[in-house]
Amino acid sequence: MGRLILLALIILAVVLLWKAFGPGSGDRAGAGLNRPAERPEIKGPDDDEEFLWTLEKNRFKERRAREEAERQENERMRRAHERYDAAPAPEPGKESPSADDEADPGTNAEDKGEAGEDHPER
């Protein structure tokens, strides 16, 4: 019985050595060393690594531009609120200055007829 097991182990060793070092083993083992690496055949845009990288890069740039635009808009709104909040509030009982008041600062209420002299009541 021992001789039979020994014979099977020898046959197994010969088969393994044949597969590892037999004819054709040089083609399999040296394939990566002797030949330059070939680029895999591109069958569609999803197989092209360069195309996919370009897509990812463009998406990143668009996202950054969108974030920057949003940040600038927020900053603009913050500054507008600061200017609005910093403007003096009109006193109670008095109207806020109109566009006519701002256009000609040299005029006063009496010149405009607010004293009632130019417009008699009917």
Q: Taking the domains of the chain in order of start, what are their residue ranges?
A: 44-86
Whether 66 shows a pLDDT value over 90: the answer reads: yes
Would you state the pLDDT for residue 12?
Answer: 95
Please return the burial class of 48, using the count of CB atoms within 10 Å of its CB with bins 0-12, 13-18 and 19+: middle
Let me know the angle formed at the C-alpha of 48 by 47 and 49, rounded to the nearest 5 degrees: 110
20-50 pLDDT, tens digit per residue, is 888 887 776 555 555 556 766 777 767 788 8
Percent of the chain with pLDDT over 70: 58
Is 47 in contact with 40 (CB distance < 8 Å)? Answer: yes
